Amino acid sequence: MDKIIKKINKLKKEKNAIILGHFYENHEIQDISDFIGDSLALSQKAEKTEADIIVFAGVLFMAETAKILCPDKKILIPDLNAGCSLSDSCEEKKFKDFLDKHPDRYVVSYVNTSAKIKALSDYMCTSSNAVQIVESLPKDKKIIFGPDKNLGAYVKKQTNRDILLWDGACHVHKNFSAKKIKALKIKYPNAKVLSHPECEYSVLEISDYIGSTSGLLKYTKQVADNEFIIATEPGIIYQMQKANPKKLFLPAPSFDNDINICEYMKLTNLEKIYDSLNEEKYEIILEENLMNKARGSIIKMLEISDKLKL
């Protein structure tokens, strides 16, 4: 393991490359990343980096977002199969038909989408800023929110805006079982339930805190509680445990299996990172016209986030 890490670090230096990693990645990938974060922080980092090459240890929509923000940089993804079920739940033609039926509405889309959906949207958001992005829009403006219906319903409840939801979801987050979480709470009555807003309402309503991956991590450091049930992809528990070595973190149970992982995020390993850097594969290539159309909605999100210091 040490040998491959040394080889990766050498290549990074030679090529002026950085590795950006998401919290759901395998532990060794989180350890080797130059920066780890949630979707918002990763796009903010991509936009600002002076590296020539970014290896994106995450999923395709994240690497595409980086490419749209930095069209002159080489953006690599170690495995082209690192997709996202939520992004897949929003197909361009169907989404466009939906939008055409409601031309009076602003389109706010979650960043977990393809570049084509981004190009159809007025504003992007992530789970870190979805509520604030919607709140920044004129009060009388009607909105379409896609593709995640759970995050959308959560935002609708928080903001009290007229929001029409696209019917998409993430296979990992919709799979947490509120009934099983309640049963686990009987065994650990002091455990606080922390959940990602992509979870179903039945899980959100029994949660003590709801937030993005970085929001959940921050919460575990700020509170005095010692036991937590984590209703999001369990990769984040690695950072929670590192930051709070004496606290107990339990992955929330799901309907059909005990550990509810995002198999797309787990596709990246050290060998693939090395090959990616060495052979400069797989490069994200997007049509310039598409990138130009998609960029505006992402930039608007980053500007609002900057202003609000998110």
Minimum CB distance to ligand SF4 smaller for 8 or for 155: 155
Minimum CB distance to ligand SF4 smaller for 11 or for 229: 229
Q: With CB cut-offs between 5 and 8 Å by kind, which of ligand 13P, ligand SF4, none does residue 39 bind?
A: ligand 13P
Asked if omega into 282 is within 30° of 0 (cis), the reply is yes
Is residue 207 a contact point for ligand 13P (CB under 6 A)? no
Is residue 237 a contact point for ligand SF4 (CB under 6 A)? no
CA–CA dist 123, 294 (Å, integer): 10
Question: From the CB of 189, what's the least distance to ligand SF4, in Å?
Answer: 29
Angle at 64 between CA 200 and CA 102, to 5 degrees: 55
What are the distances in angstroms from CA 14 to CA 5, 7, 265, 277?
A: 14, 11, 27, 10
Is residue 85 a contact point for ligand 13P (CB under 6 A)? no
Residue 194: closest CA among 160, 224, 220, 165:
220
Residue 212: closest CA among 91, 302, 110, 82:
110
Angle between helices 270-279 and 2-15 in degrees, nearest 10 = 30
Is residue 154 a contact point for ligand SF4 (CB under 6 A)? no
CA–CA dist 265, 22 (Å, integer): 8
Q: Which residues contact 189 (CB under 8 A, 6 or more apart)?
A: none
CA torsion sign, 33 to 175 to 64 to 194?
A: negative
Question: From the CB of 257, what's the least distance to ligand SF4, in Å?
Answer: 15
Quote the strand ranges of 64-191, DSSP E.
74-76, 106-110, 123-125, 143-146, 163-165
Minimum CB distance to ligand 13P smaller for 37 or for 277: 37
Q: With CB cut-offs between 5 and 8 Å by kind, which of ligand SF4, ligand 13P, none does residue 68 bind?
A: none
Is residue 177 a contact point for ligand 13P (CB under 6 A)? no
Minimum CB distance to ligand 13P smaller for 11 or for 43: 43
Is residue 112 a contact point for ligand SF4 (CB under 6 A)? yes
Is residue 84 a contact point for ligand SF4 (CB under 6 A)? yes
Q: What tokens were used for 293?
A: 């159309």
Binding-site member from 54, 172, 301, 304 for ligand SF4 (CB under 6 A): 172
If one counts every other C-beta atom within 10 angstroms of the C-beta of residue 101, the result is 10
Is residue 59 a contact point for ligand SF4 (CB under 6 A)? yes
Is residue 39 a contact point for ligand 13P (CB under 6 A)? yes
Minimum CB distance to ligand SF4 smaller for 44 or for 89: 89
Q: With CB cut-offs between 5 and 8 Å by kind, which of ligand SF4, ligand 13P, none does residue 236 bind?
A: none
Is residue 86 a contact point for ligand SF4 (CB under 6 A)? yes
Q: With CB cut-offs between 5 and 8 Å by kind, which of ligand SF4, ligand 13P, none does residue 64 bind?
A: none
Question: From the CB of 150, what's the least distance to ligand SF4, in Å?
Answer: 10
Minimum CB distance to ligand SF4 smaller for 120 or for 170: 170
Annotate 72-94 with b (16+ C-beta within 10 A) or e (fewer). ebbbbbbbeebbbbbbbbbeeee
Residues that bind ligand SF4 (CB under 6 A): 59, 84-86, 112, 170, 172, 233, 262, 264-265
